[in-house]
Structure 1
């Protein structure tokens, strides 16, 4: 076996072993009261091979502009604590997962505008690879250990593909949901027209979970706006 190929096989095996070990560990839970924020939200952004540079830029501009919209700012202000915490993860295959924005408190219009500008100018810091939604979920869930205590913990996964690398995604999804994490999905249907159905069956779960489809990357901005509004407002909004 070629040395480079052998290295990739070993790296993939080790990544799977680490993931399997992580699945046996309990996830941190927020305190029952005296929460610091209304919501701890992880934005998990697909950076796999199927996402080109223009599509990545559309994702980040859509996210940034959504936080700057007055309806999103108002939703944050209407929360009991009037503040949320946001982190951003870029992901592709098993070895390629990176937290590109640490936990950031958004507690007013100025904070939302600043976060919006950061997201709009964010660079792609991750190597392209396959689509390991299972690894993205596990990696993201581990970040809650460093998050402010939150009444709700949500992982927001955007993707244009199905899990094709790493562990099967359903057992990972089920474990995170059992530990009080909600997983929502934004599916971009440019390659898989039924991807929203796949996400419903395999990826999303938890209290008030949902999937919002976008027909293509051009429609991503409006879709992420509607998705953020639902996540910040909480279960029950239609």
Structure 2
């Protein structure tokens, strides 16, 4: 035990505040429509989108951010160049916005809202595990959300929030509903990833897939992406606290 303490003292604090881990500008994020460049209405962007996230309406591309997987095909095939891919990852949807919140503010908000830690139960209902890997990163030394009072629990009966990944499959439908019912009130549900948010998954049409999470249970927070970055997941948790 003394050897462990000596090592801890010698190593020091290796955890970095998550707000400093900003994605680089070259990272793929939100696709936006540049208003100063008119659309030619060629529909090439909508035709190449693998998740049907783009519709051209009255000569203007409309992007469903819940279904967008940031592949960039629409930007590459846009002849007019009116589409632009940014590095913006803060796409979690909820009424209003919390703006820029630091880690210390996140910790204060959790204590102010719950008076204790925020407990999360993760539920994989059919994902490819891409979102699950990114979700695991929020507990690593760089982001370390446990230092702000956020913990993952093994039982939905101990959870405040359900973090659901993947599209709803037929075999997982009952498990999703039973897990939702077992979570005590007040409870929140977060759909994590493009598949969970929109149901327009890249797996294609299948008899085994029923669609988005909100087709079976109410969803409070949508965190799109394929997969969403750890920073996007933390931003979604901030919005979840605002809803709670």
TM-score interval, smaller chain: 0.3 to 0.5
TM (norm. structure 1) is 0.34
TM (norm. structure 2) is 0.33
Max radius of gyration: which structure?
A: 2
